[in-house]
Structure 1
Amino acid sequence: MNGSQTYDFDRFRLSTVRHELFRDGQPVALEPKAFCVLTELLEHGGELLSHNALLDAVWGHRHVTPGVLNRSIALVRRALGDDSEHPRYVQTVHALGYRFIAPVTRVDDAAMRTGPAASVAIAPVASPPPETKSLAAVPVAVLPFANMSDDPGQAFLSDGLAEDIITELSRWHMLAVRSRAASFRHRGVAVDVQEVARELDVRFIVEGSVRRMGERVRITAQLIDTESCNHIWAEKFDRTLSEIFDVQDEVVGTIVATLVGRVQARDAERARRKPPSSLAAYECVLRGNALPWAEPEGRAEATRLFEQAIALDPDYGFAHALLAAMRYGQWYDDPVGDDAALDEALALAMRGVELDPDESTCHSILAQVCHLRGDFDLCAQHIRRAVELNPSNQWNVADMGMMLNYLGEAGQALAWFERARQIDPYFDPPWYWREYGMALLLTHRYREAAEMFSHVTDRNFLHLAPRAASNALLGDMQAARRDVADCMAEQPDFSIERYFAKLSFKRQADIDHLAEALRQAGFPES
């Protein structure tokens, strides 16, 4: 590499002197080795770099396996939002190496410090987005994890784990994550949390420790609210250390998803204590998201809050997506209504993705709207994009399972439902158990399906109908008739025909299977 450089490409800027990557002026977390790999690719933009060339340039003469390089390339792609099958930035040349394929502008950092370089064209970098997203984001710092092993050389594991958490948390727009350079200055077992919070200007701190014991590793992590110094979440992980990166990925995924869920819950509690007239758009979304959508009063208030958020900030993509969910829920819950609410949901969801194409939940909600409209190809496209953008979001993962039920892949859906609970053991919205039960029902595992449906205690007809079908297929007609009676009491106009008018299945065999079970349970045909 020839001295300190700044590289501009697309919406990104990488500075080697600052050792930071920016997207639209916002820092993007990238662990050190992956940063060096990206820098090397940018330095040789357009050239094919072999695996050995990259290993030598980044790791020197150390003995490392090709898997280490593959992981760094994957981290680079994740940071850039790139796709290995349809790359915009990093191209894989099978069995040979990698090439950076986007146009790159290079500027010497010394020239930038002394004044503008008139002879070099600098691609413009957009300013940070105003108000709602940047100002309302919850500030978080991840401190270096303490190495509790006897071997000081194991510090790479504790540092690498903290770096991975920073990388994953940075993918959430609701969080403003401090850079590694800022957080890692506070190294030590007995840091003063409030002092760190003041210096880094953060509200939440993640800290932890790593202890390696032969071929096992114990990792502890905790989330601290710096306003009260209370530990609001803590977890311990004991794992076999057969493959360090697999361990890191599993632990990071669990920590990230659970952490985000706890931050959301904590903020929702604070938002509920404030008078609605004082809420900004972001706080409207927080309050609406915390309400019980399954209850009519909660859904009505959430709808009002999401509408208010859009009125306050018409360019708030996430608010558009959540309002779309309210609209399709309104359509879904009314078996005899017209399609006006669903049409509005589609317009809102598409606008959400247009405004915020990198927000995974916007794609997930658009996928659900497309499913209800019977557009299975678009449904699959957007739900895949949702989990690509944020594979550690338990909601997106469970949404993937739900969509697979209706795309004719209920067998595959089971693994996604299991994964959601692996990510966050506390994840249990009623629809999750219903859809998990649906996957088991469609794969003819009726007793397990009935067990999943038993987790749902409300009398919503959307839960009662498949539970009745499952009981009928088990031969428990007393339970099936009871579910039918409860369902018809809740929704007197319910019929098998109207049920499938609201619920689209790609495979006719799945429709036939479920319809016959509903008949056996005793539901009217039309």
Structure 2
Amino acid sequence: MSGWYFSEPDDRLICPEQIVQLTPKAAAVLSCLRKYKGKIVSTDTFLEEVWPGLHVTPDLVREYIHDLRSALKDDAKQPNYIETVRGKGFRLIGEIDTAPADLVAHPPRQQENRPTVAVLKPEVNHDKDISNIADAIASDIINHLARFHYIGVVARQSSFSSKEVTDIRAFAQDVQADYVLESNFARFAHVIRARIQLVDARTGKSLWGERLDLNSDDPLAVVDEIANTVVLALTGWHGELHRAEFKSIARKGESKLNAFEHFVLGCDLEMRLDAENLRRSLSHLEQSVRLDPTFARAWLVYALELRWAYAVIPGRDRSYLEQAEKAFETAFNLAPTDPVNLALMSMNTARSGNLNGALAMLNRAEATMAGDSDAMVCVATAKSVLTDDVERACAIFDKVLRANTAPPSWFYFAEAGISFMAGQYERSVSSSRSGPQEISALVFRCLSHAMLGQSKQATLAHNDLMSAFPMTDFVRFADNFPIASQPRRREYDAAVKRLGEFLADTGVNLPD
């Protein structure tokens, strides 16, 4: 065997040296290229054949072409397989034959049961200017949602408005949508009032709603604010769509669950970071990646929960950390352009001593994080410890909080760290008490009390930390986090020194 072969039943590229597992959409893009081998395939053709009936941005095609080139080790400037024809599309110029039957190892992959949303045309009362703004908002919401590979967006919604759809359930069944987003807009002097709600198409019940009043003097700002608010509220591991799916799936028997449904149940809505709930979550996530080994977000959450399991489940089993590292590498290889993966990989890269490489990844994550609350929190966390721009880190995090009136509890221990790095010690203490008693929340609580000069509270917080995590070493914690910015590290070390002075008065010494 020589060269590359494509195994379509199980989405794999195979050559003598390695086997590359493609994501389903990357495999579909490759199938499209092979179908028209030697001919230019336009972006419109990809959209029609790979995403039929869905609204996605043309940029997504380029992302998957990039992923295929990475898998094939192909150089875009001197291609052997995929050629870019500027302004026209892409062309397959190399041989990628169908894999012989003896190389196809798996049956066809089980399809994900991802939630699908139909965004109705906004309802507007005879105001052309507001109508244009409303249409732009709906378009932006569709484009943002289409970036989330685990959410489907129906493209046929543009011909229907909320006023015209009298039976939500019948309409949703017709367009094969699980949820419908409807909205109406009105102007009052210089104020635009927007009302938006998410409806469960199966029951017709409203799941989430928002009313926004914005100054109409800057239409572009109105479009950005409303579209971002809606998308940030709906998406993410604990967004409104995920919450709705969690409640629906929880009623099913485990033997009937597919990969996506196991993933949803693996993301504990309450983020109860105790041994029993972590084991339950890990079991669901293991099933998810077993059923669909190309599900990047499932691998990512699996990696994060394995890290938490190491700290929480008795025994300090280092195999959790080894599995976490492998799971995270798998997630990044499957989705190297995902801003969450990029932000977390930037911290991994800094941990290995390559700060310049880490900052390059962080910049890419920040450039593509808009509308993704999980990505924004991860970017804010990385920015607070890898750079000197803590004001920007706080601004990113605060924007997420404004759009999430009931944020998931893991946001709070992220907030504790970001606030500490920004010198907002009282906020760090408050947020550390609002979420799970995760190790970083406890570390930043006792250090914040120390920086506030509150010796008694700092000592009590240290007792709580050592009771929950008796092997905590402040130097090792900072190295592993990692706190790589020199100004941030100096402030952290100063806090540890002050805590040590308070503890010394009680006869307790910190490790050297």
TM beyond 0.5: yes
2:43 match: secondary structure: strand
Q: Which of 282, 296, 307 in structure 2 is aligned with 1:303?
A: 282
Instruction: Give 2:184's aligned residue.
Output: 209
User: What is the TM-score when the length of structure 2 is the normalising length?
Assistant: 0.74
Distance 2:438 2:477 in 1: 13
Q: Deviations over 1:8-63 (max 9, x none)?
A: 99985226xxxx94584456637xxxxxxxxxxxxxxxxxxxxxxxxxxxxxxxxx
Instruction: Give 2:85's aligned residue.
Output: 103
Assess if the C-alpha contact under 8 Å between 2:54 and 2:152 holds in 1. no
Instruction: Give 2:495's aligned residue.
Output: 514
Opposite residue 179 of structure 2, the aligned amino acid is: F
Cα distance change, pair 406–310 in 1 and its aligned pair in 2 (3 A): same
Q: Deviations over 1:270-309 (max 9, x none)?
A: 2222222221111111110135351211211222222222
Assess if the C-alpha contact under 8 Å between 1:317 and 1:351 holds in 2. yes
User: Map of 1:120-519 to 2, 5 A cutoff?
Assistant: 132=110, 135-148=112-125, 150-152=126-128, 154-179=130-155, 182-187=156-161, 189-192=163-166, 193-260=168-235, 261-290=239-268, 292=271, 294-331=273-310, 341-370=320-349, 373=352, 375-409=354-388, 410-430=390-410, 432-456=411-435, 458-506=436-484, 507=486, 508-519=489-500
Q: Which of 37, 43, 51 in structure 2 is aligned with 1:13?
A: 43
Opposite residue 113 of structure 2, the aligned amino acid is: A
Distance 1:302 1:381 in 2: 33
Instruction: Give 2:103's aligned residue.
Output: none
Distance 2:123 2:480 in 1: 53
Opposite residue 381 of structure 2, the aligned amino acid is: M
Cα distance change, pair 378–268 in 1 and its aligned pair in 2 (3 A): farther
- Give, in angstroms, the shift of residue 393 of structure 1: 1.2
Distance 1:9 1:141 in 2: 34
Opposite residue 118 of structure 2, the aligned amino acid is: A
Opposite residue 137 of structure 2, the aligned amino acid is: L
Assess if the C-alpha contact under 8 Å between 2:118 and 2:154 holds in 1. yes
Distance 2:482 2:461 in 1: 22
- Give, in angstroms, the shift of residue 487 of structure 1: 1.8
- Give, in angstroms, the shift of residue 340 of structure 1: 5.5
Stretch deviating more after TM superposition (191-200 or 513-522): 513-522
Instruction: Give 2:68's aligned residue.
Output: none
Q: Deviations over 1:180-216 (max 9, x none)?
A: xx11222352522122112111110001111123432
Distance 2:189 2:164 in 1: 26
Opposite residue 240 of structure 1, the aligned amino acid is: N
Distance 1:247 1:202 in 2: 27
2:144 match: secondary structure: helix
Stretch deviating more after TM superposition (244-253 or 265-274): 265-274
- Give, in angstroms, the shift of residue 451 of structure 1: 3.3
- Give, in angstroms, the shift of residue 141 of structure 1: 0.4
Distance 1:415 1:9 in 2: 47
2:148 match: secondary structure: coil
Distance 2:361 2:272 in 1: 23
Distance 1:188 1:443 in 2: 45
Distance 2:198 2:267 in 1: 22
Distance 2:312 2:466 in 1: 14
- Give, in angstroms, the shift of residue 408 of structure 1: 3.5
- Give, in angstroms, the shift of residue 327 of structure 1: 2.9
Assess if the C-alpha contact under 8 Å between 1:268 and 1:290 holds in 2. no
Q: Deviations over 1:97-150 (max 9, x none)?
A: xxxx9515869xxxxxxxxxxxx98999x9xxx7556x41212100100112x4
Mark the runs of 5 or more structure 1 residues left unpaired by the alignment. Answer: 1-5, 31-74, 83-100, 108-119
- Give, in angstroms, the shift of residue 470 of structure 1: 1.2
Q: Deviations over 1:347-398 (max 9, x none)?
A: 3222212223344444344345445555544544444444444411111111
Q: Deviations over 1:450-485 (max 9, x none)?
A: 3333434x5444322221121122122221121122
Give the aligned length. Answer: 432
Assess if the C-alpha contact under 8 Å between 1:325 and 1:345 holds in 2. yes
Assess if the C-alpha contact under 8 Å between 1:140 and 1:205 holds in 2. yes
Cα distance change, pair 151–272 in 1 and its aligned pair in 2 (3 A): closer
1:397 match: secondary structure: helix
Identity among equivalent pairs (%): 18
2:461 match: secondary structure: helix
Distance 2:204 2:409 in 1: 29
Assess if the C-alpha contact under 8 Å between 2:117 and 2:180 holds in 1. yes
- Give, in angstroms, the shift of residue 402 of structure 1: 1.0
Distance 1:189 1:389 in 2: 34
Opposite residue 184 of structure 1, the aligned amino acid is: S
Opposite residue 146 of structure 2, the aligned amino acid is: S
Instruction: Give 2:76's aligned residue.
Output: none
Opposite residue 516 of structure 1, the aligned amino acid is: K
2:44 match: secondary structure: strand
Opposite residue 163 of structure 1, the aligned amino acid is: S
Assess if the C-alpha contact under 8 Å between 1:257 and 1:393 holds in 2. yes
Distance 2:367 2:298 in 1: 21
Assess if the C-alpha contact under 8 Å between 2:259 and 2:292 holds in 1. yes
Distance 1:450 1:121 in 2: 56
1:136 match: secondary structure: coil
Cα distance change, pair 249–80 in 1 and its aligned pair in 2 (3 A): farther
Q: Deviations over 1:203-243 (max 9, x none)?
A: 10001111123432111111000111101111111001222
1:205 match: secondary structure: strand
Cα distance change, pair 10–381 in 1 and its aligned pair in 2 (3 A): farther
Assess if the C-alpha contact under 8 Å between 2:232 and 2:400 holds in 1. no
- Give, in angstroms, the shift of residue 170 of structure 1: 1.0
Assess if the C-alpha contact under 8 Å between 1:225 and 1:232 holds in 2. yes
Opposite residue 55 of structure 2, the aligned amino acid is: A
Mark the runs of 5 or more structure 2 residues left unpaired by the alignment. Answer: 1-35, 65-82, 97-107
Opposite residue 497 of structure 2, the aligned amino acid is: E
Opposite residue 187 of structure 1, the aligned amino acid is: S
Assess if the C-alpha contact under 8 Å between 1:288 and 1:302 holds in 2. yes
2:182 match: secondary structure: strand
Cα distance change, pair 299–227 in 1 and its aligned pair in 2 (3 A): same
Opposite residue 303 of structure 2, the aligned amino acid is: A
Instruction: Give 2:510's aligned residue.
Output: 525
Distance 1:378 1:342 in 2: 23
CA RMSD of aligned residues (A): 3.5
Instruction: Give 2:55's aligned residue.
Output: 29
